[in-house]
Amino acid sequence: MTINLQRTLKKPVDCVGVGVHSGAPASLTLKPAPVGSGIVFVRRDAPAGNARIPARFDAVSDMTLGTTLTNEAGVSVQTVEHMMAALAGLGIDNVTVELTGPEIPIMDGSAAPFVFLIECAGIAVQRAPRKALRILKTVRVADGGRVAELRPSAEPRIDIMIDFASAAIAQQHFGIALTQEAFREEIARARTFGFRHEVEALRAMGLAQGGSLENSIVVDGDHVMNEGGLRYADEFARHKLLDAIGDLALAGMPIIGAFRGERTGHRMNNMLLRALFARPEAFETILLTEPPVRADGPLEAVQTA
């Protein structure tokens, strides 16, 4: 039985884009990080002692139009979910994300550009075992017609259902056993989306200044405005699933269990993690054994001491 080892990057890699809310240039650098350090955001423009922001569920301070993390000094980083989804989807445990300003670049509105960056940097295996949270009992949060839950499962699986009045979206469902290959091929390229009337209202409020047809799907009534159309027929559901992967990655380690979300969003996803960690009997920490994710049988695991 081979223990699955932690992973970081082989070398730094950087990118430049635009902040979806401010419309200002946004840049970041992904850097290798030591064993056990997890994912940490570092604001280059903040005082050195206050610059580090841990990628943890209990650091989430705002879930409006994205997931925002804030440290104890009040320093924040916005829209972390696509970056977190890419790191989680490729099984990266330890990375420092340095950025200038409060926003992660929106890129094309999906996780695919961040997957490309990670693969350009290369993945380095570290000499320490990977840990994961194995779900032992179902944990569920609900708010009206919105539901998010985690339940025991031999393999990581994620299912999403969305329901919108627009005929361009309507009701969609997408579910998949979560492997690195599945993430690359079926999830990473799904773009964020919004409605034209909402975008106009947000811009009037000084938000979504960097949003465009180049970095999001825009729906006008019952029609998709993007000239190239959709990347998948159910791209809307796939992107909601991508968001959930990024939000759940704030648990700090992989989750071995099945996630189900109905009309869920960033707020419900974070509520679910808070509910999970409030119930220690609902999960256990395990050491992962190879392979880290399997679609053809149960995942092996051993309990930590």
Specify the CATH number for 5-128; select among 3.90.1170.50, 3.30.1360.200, 3.30.230.20, 3.90.1150.10.
3.30.230.20
Q: Does domain 132-303 match CATH 3.30.1700.10?
A: yes
Q: Is the dihedral of CA 235, 41, 258, 292 positive or negative?
A: positive
266 is catalytic: yes
Give the separation between CA 66 and CA 77, rounded to whole angstroms. 11
pLDDT for 196 equals 87
Q: Of the listed 21, 82, 239, 266, which one is catalytic? A: 266
* Total-model pTM: 0.93
Classify strands 217-220 and 255-256 as parallel, antiparallel or unpaired.
unpaired
The H helix count followed by the E strand count for the chain is: 6, 22
Distance from the Cα of residue 239 to its chain's centroid: 10
Block means of pLDDT (10 residues each) for the chain, 305 residues, are 86 92 87 98 93 98 93 96 98 97 94 98 96 97 96 96 96 96 97 86 70 89 94 97 98 97 97 98 92 42 43
C-alpha dihedral, 267 to 269 to 275 to 277, nearest 10°:
-120
Give the separation between CA 30 and CA 20, rounded to whole angstroms. 20
Domain range summary for the chain, segments of one domain joined by +: 5-128, 132-303
Closest by alpha carbon to 161, among 175, 176, 149, 150?
175
Distance between first and last Cα of the chain: 17
